[in-house]
Structure 1
Amino acid sequence: MNGSTLVNIGFFVLVFGILLIFLGSIIQSTSSDNNNDNSSKTEIKTGGVILIGPIPIIFGNDKGMVITGVILGIILMLVAYFLFYRH
């Protein structure tokens, strides 16, 4: 794989991610069960993975999100190893 192919793949992945965010926000705002009733309780779960080099920093406010972050961190570490450190 040459450099221009990787740049094109990266560009398309970036555009695809932006389109997914845009599409998700449109679907959420036009949802039929999006009422203004204050009696319904909404629970928000957050989590994330930050990679500094090959070392992941994982955070979250829910046990399930942290476990998902750990799995995602391991996958990203393996991808980084195979792309950059394997000769």
Structure 2
Amino acid sequence: MSTDILSAIGLTIIFVGLVLVIVGIVSGIIKSSKKERNENQREETKTEYGGVIFIGPIPIVFGSNKDMAKMALIIGVIMVVLIIAFVVLSYVV
């Protein structure tokens, strides 16, 4: 693998992330507009969050509940494996 291919993969991952963020924002806007239309029906909405912060190779995981923290941990482990794989591939090729 050349550096061109690895650069293309990195840019593709960044682009996919941006698209997912935009889809999430649009989805939230659509849900909130539907909620305003249905004011007669009161629904409790619960927002959950989770995230991963990398300090060097160590992921720090947080979440609003155990399920979100588990999901963030799984995503963090997958990201660490991908980072290690890309680093190894860049030295092998």
Q: TM-score, normalised by structure 1?
A: 0.75
Larger proportion of helix: 2
1:10-56 CA-to-partner distances (Å, cap 9, x unmatched) read 22222222222223322332349722238321101111011112111
Identity over aligned residues, as a percent? Answer: 30
Which residue pairs with 1:23 in the alignment? 23
- The partner residue of 1:62 within 62, 65, 69 is 65
5+ residue gaps, structure 1: none
Distance 1:32 1:5, change over 3 A: same
- Tell me by how many angstroms 1:72 deviates: 1.9
Cα distance in 2 between the residues matched to 1:2 and 1:13: 17
Instruction: Tell me the number of residue pairs that the alignment of Structure 1 and Structure 2 aligns.
Output: 87
Matches within 5 A, 1:4-83: 4-31=4-31, 34-36=34-36, 37=39, 39-83=42-86
Cα distance in 1 between the residues matched to 2:84 and 2:13: 20
5+ residue gaps, structure 2: none
Q: TM-score, normalised by structure 2?
A: 0.71
1:30 is matched by which residue type in structure 2? I
SS of equivalent residue, structure 2 residue 82: helix
2:73 is matched by which residue type in structure 1? V
List structure 1 runs of 4+ shifted beyond 4 angstroms.
Answer: none
Range with bigger deviation, 41-50 or 2-11: 2-11
Distance 1:8 1:65, change over 3 A: same
